[in-house]
Structure formats: structure tokens, C-alpha cells
Amino acid sequence: MHAAMTPGRARTMALVVAGAFFMEFLDGTIIATALPAMARDFGQPVVALSIGISAYLLALAVFIPVSGWVADRYGTRDVFTAAIVVFTGASMLCGLCSGLWTFVAARLLQGLGGAMMVPVGRLAVLRVTEKSALVGAIALLTWPALAAPVLGPPVGGFITTYASWRWIFLLNVPLGVAAIALSWALMPNLREDIRRKFDRIGFVLSGLSLSLIMEGMELVSDDAVGWLAAVVLVAGLALGVVAVRHLLRTPQPLLDLQVMQVPTFAVTVTGGTVFRVTIGTVPFLLPLLFQVGFGLDAFHAGMLVLSTFLGNIGMKPFTTWVMRRWGFRTSGIANGIAAALTMAVCAFLTPATPLPLLLVVLFISGLTRSMQFTVLNTLGFVDVPRPRMSGASTLASVAQQMSIGMGVALGAAVLHLVTLRHGGPPMLADFHVVFALMAVLMLAGLPFFFRLPREAGAEVSGHRPA
């Protein structure tokens, strides 16, 4: 069902949804720099607090697949606002916790709210936005995923240093209340007329598979449990194969894999996942490079990383023009090459690199990162029929969330494997090797774009091939 909405109202709704997205994405990374302070308050070793991050990502992995079915049954506005209520309430509980396991329980609840927020919010925006305005709407929904991983660590460090780690979560409360009020006022309660049966088997198989894969990636970098990482990864992939077979055969699957038959959507899930995973290593690797390799403190390392965020913002006014001028196919290929080159240049950075040059490299990296995310997120929905939009939004959210989690895990795992050459802590040369490997891996996602026709998505981009 499509609800008519004026362009201005649709844009305002997209801004509200983007703000909610920012809260969700930020809470996935912001506590990283607060873990030592939290460990002291809980009376736990700092390594034990990593479960707070894992629990959040676990809840996202398990419950994102069910979000499309819930939205179709109960309506986008009701589910989206309920998700913000759960997320906001869980944030308050996180800020008030006095022990590790109550904190973990609150983080699981917070992840449940976040799992419903992102795909349902995107679905609501897609259903009320005309194709001619899709690029601008998707650009608004893209910036939280770009900004949050970069802003999270320095913002978390600042709040922890000058206030208390508890305010990291408590600040979500007034923001959440505002988002609830605006969402209820602006968002239509769109739902499907035909109710689908809930796919319990698909829910269990997909949830277990995604959880095991994410946990296995995290375990790869741990020497003590290297064998366990392999077992968990193999089990997760095996369950994934079983889940895919089930989803393709059942009449009303939890995840609509048939939407992968749409070429433009398939490119964003396949090649797009390769790009998101590799670019997702940057917020993890750059702060470590500057602290371990350059010898900077956490604050100055975080300030350097903010240069990529400025590139993200700086690219936004030009994304529509670029796609109209060159189209999705050419923009994706050319910008993908540029993004890989900036990743490769990071393999040559040293403490002797002039600061202006370093800032330019990071800024250009942010430009290419922002452009590619917008290309991928917009291209994915240009040809998806409205009746399949719910399934496409859910599947895209699963791919995106897994990419973000796996990006950090991949960066940690590859850095760990590279340091095995000398058996000590990471050195500058190790970071150079990792950045070079990530640049090569990023290029592996480009062949998917070559399969697209030059006119792909022209109705949305406005590009007219010669």
C-alpha cells in the first residue's frame, strides 16, 4: 500500500527516521572507549565488558529478520515508534545498571529495539517517497551508518572523561522521546493487506546462523580459542545453507530471497557487502594505526579520524549530481576504485607524513565512502516492486548490519594474523600490510557492478546514457 505524502513531509519524516538510525548505530560503537570506566564500576576485568558489545550485535542479528513480518502485520508507524520506546527504555536501564549481567540484559533489550528500528524506518520512507526523490531520501538515511562508527569512539571518550559513561545511554532518553512524538505525528501506519504466516523455522535457522557467524568472526582474533572460532564459523555457515534452502522452498519465508532476482538489488547485497565489510574495518584500524603505529593519544587519534567524517558530510550535496551525470553503474565502478586507492594510500602513512597530506587522504577517503554508500543504498531499491519492498528492506538491513559487525571483526582478525609473523604486538608495518590487503579485497566487489546495464536505475538517477 502506498500513502500519498507531500515531498516536504516525506523529507521531514526521513530526517526523523535518520535521527533514530543515528541513535541505533552510535550505540553499537560508542561504548568502546568507555569500557575501562565501566569495568571499574562493575568490578569486572575490562575484557569481560566486551560482552556488552556482543550482546547488542547478537540481538540485532537475531531480530532484524523478523522486522519485515512484524511491520507488515502491525503497521510501520506502530512498530517503529514501539521500537524507539523499547530502545529508549533499554538505554535508560543501561545507564542505571550497577552490575555486568543486568547491563548485558539491558543491551539485549536495546538491540531488540534497534533491530526493529532500522528496517522498519527505511521501509516507511521507501513506501512514501516517489522514485524521483529517492536519491535524496536514501542519502539522508545513509549518513547515520557513515557518521556513527567514526563519531562513536571520540564522543564516548569525551563523555566518559568529562562526565560519566552513564550519560552515553541516558542522553538517548530525551532524543528518544522527541523521536517518538515526531514519528507518531508524521509517519503513516502502512501495512500489508495480506497477512503472512510467521516462519518459525526460518526465524530459528537464520537467527542461529547469523549469530554463530558473527561470534565466530569475533573469536578469530583470540589465540586461546582459535579452534573454537573455526568450529563456530563452520557451524554458522552450515546452518546458513540450511536456512537458505528453507527460505527458498517455503511459501511464506521470513526473509524474501526471491528479491535477489532483481539485478540492481542483488548487486547491492553481493558487491555491496564486500565494500561495506572492507570499509567497515577503517573505524577500527585507523585509531589503532594512529595510537599504536604513530604513538598518539586516544584524543588526538580520534580527532584525526574525524577528517573522514568531514568527507562524509562534504560529499552529500554532490551525490545527486554525480549520479545524474554518470549513472549508478559508472559512479559505482569509478568511486569504488577511488575508495580502494585511498585505502591503499593508508598503507604508506607514517608518523613523518605531513599533517596536511594526512588530512587530505582521510578527507578523500570519507568522500568516497559516503558516495559509495549512497550509490549502493539507493540502487538497491530502484527496481524493487512495492509489494516486495518489505522483504527487500529487511534483507538489506540484515546484510548491512552483518557487514558492520564483520568489518570490525575482519580488521581485528587480519591484524592478528599479520602480527603472527613476529609474535609481538602490532607494529607500523603490520598496519601497512592490513590496509593493502583491505584495498585488494575492496576491489573484489567491483565486478558485480560491471554486470549492470549502463541505464540501470536511470528513472531514479536521472542519468541518460549517450
3-state secondary structure 228-290: HHHHHHHHHHHHHHHHHHHHHHCCCCCCCHHHHHCHHHHHHHHHHHHHHHHHCCHHHHHHHHH
Give Cβ neighbours of residue 364 (< 8 Å, ≥ 6 apart).
311, 338, 342
The answer to whether residue 136 scores a pLDDT higher than 80 is no
Q: What is the CA radius of gyration of the chain?
A: 21
pLDDT digits (tens, 9 = 90+) for 368-398: 988 888 888 888 888 888 778 777 888 887 8
Q: What is the pLDDT of residue 449?
A: 87
Whole-number Å distance between alpha carbons of 220 and 233: 9
Which amino acid is residue 53, in one-letter code? I
- Could you count the other beta carbons within 10 Å of the beta carbon of residue 29? 22
Average pLDDT over residues 22-31: 74
Q: Give percent above pLDDT 90 in the chain.
A: 18
Is 350 contained in some domain?
yes
Give Cβ neighbours of residue 48 (< 8 Å, ≥ 6 apart).
39, 100
Helix (H) / strand (E) element for 377: namely helix 355-379
| 449 and 311 co-located in one domain | yes
Average pLDDT over residues 212-238: 76
Cβ 463 vs Cβ 281: under 8 Å: no
| 348 and 390 co-located in one domain | yes
Is 129 contained in some domain?
yes
Q: How many domains does the chain have?
A: 3
| 369 and 235 co-located in one domain | no
Separation in Å, CA 330 to CA 7, 186, 450:
28, 36, 9
| 425 and 319 co-located in one domain | yes
Q: What is the pLDDT of residue 153?
A: 67
Is 51 contained in some domain?
yes
The answer to whether residue 457 scores a pLDDT higher than 80 is no
How many residues would you count in the chain? 466
Q: What is the pLDDT of residue 5?
A: 67
Average pLDDT over residues 234-261: 89
| 372 and 435 co-located in one domain | yes
Domain that holds residue 298: 259-466
State the angle between helix axes of 50-74 and 389-419 in degrees (0 to 180), rounded to the nearest 10: 170
The answer to whether residue 24 scores a pLDDT higher than 80 is no
| 170 and 204 co-located in one domain | no
The answer to whether residue 451 scores a pLDDT higher than 50 is yes
Q: Rounded to 5 degrees, what are φ and ψ at 394?
A: -65, -45
State the angle between helix axes of 100-128 and 7-26 in degrees (0 to 180), rounded to the nearest 10: 160
Whole-number Å distance between alpha carbons of 274 and 343: 14
> Cα 23 to the chain's mean position, in Å?
12
- Could you count the other beta carbons within 10 Å of the beta carbon of residue 276? 24
Average pLDDT of the chain? 82
| 244 and 271 co-located in one domain | no
User: Which cell is 397 given?
Assistant: 538491513
User: Which cell is 298 given?
Assistant: 586516544
- Indicate the DSSP class of residue 381: T
| 71 and 86 co-located in one domain | yes
Q: What is the pLDDT of residue 224?
A: 53
Per-residue pLDDT band for 78 (boundaries 50, 70, 90) equals: very high
Is 194 contained in some domain?
no
Per-residue pLDDT band for 437 (boundaries 50, 70, 90) equals: very high
Q: What is the pLDDT of residue 1?
A: 44
| 244 and 279 co-located in one domain | no
- Indicate the DSSP class of residue 425: S
Task: Among 163, 189, 215, identify where a domain stops.
Answer: 189
pLDDT digits (tens, 9 = 90+) for 147-199: 776 677 677 777 877 888 888 888 889 988 998 998 888 888 887 766 778 88
| 91 and 62 co-located in one domain | yes
Q: What is the pLDDT of residue 219?
A: 73
- Indicate the DSSP class of residue 457: T
Separation in Å, CA 320 to CA 313, 325, 331:
14, 9, 11
Per-residue pLDDT band for 6 (boundaries 50, 70, 90) equals: confident
Q: What is the pLDDT of residue 465?
A: 67
User: CA torsion angle for 339, 343, 346, 347 (degrees, to 10)?
Assistant: -140
Q: Model pTM?
A: 0.74
Separation in Å, CA 46 to CA 51, 109, 170, 237, 347:
10, 22, 22, 30, 31
CATH of the domain at 72: 1.20.1250.20
| 169 and 228 co-located in one domain | no
Is 444 contained in some domain?
yes
Q: What is the pLDDT of residue 352?
A: 92
H-state helical runs in 163-199: 166-170, 172-186
Q: What is the pLDDT of residue 279?
A: 84
- Could you count the other beta carbons within 10 Å of the beta carbon of residue 294? 19
Is 144 contained in some domain?
yes
pLDDT digits (tens, 9 = 90+) for 400-434: 777 776 777 788 778 878 887 777 778 888 889 99
Which of 34-43, 168-177, 438-447 bottoms out in mean pLDDT, i.e. has the lowest?
34-43
Cβ 452 vs Cβ 264: under 8 Å: yes
| Diameter over CA atoms, the chain | 66
| 405 and 372 co-located in one domain | yes
Q: What is the pLDDT of residue 4?
A: 53
Whole-number Å distance between alpha carbons of 254 and 233: 23
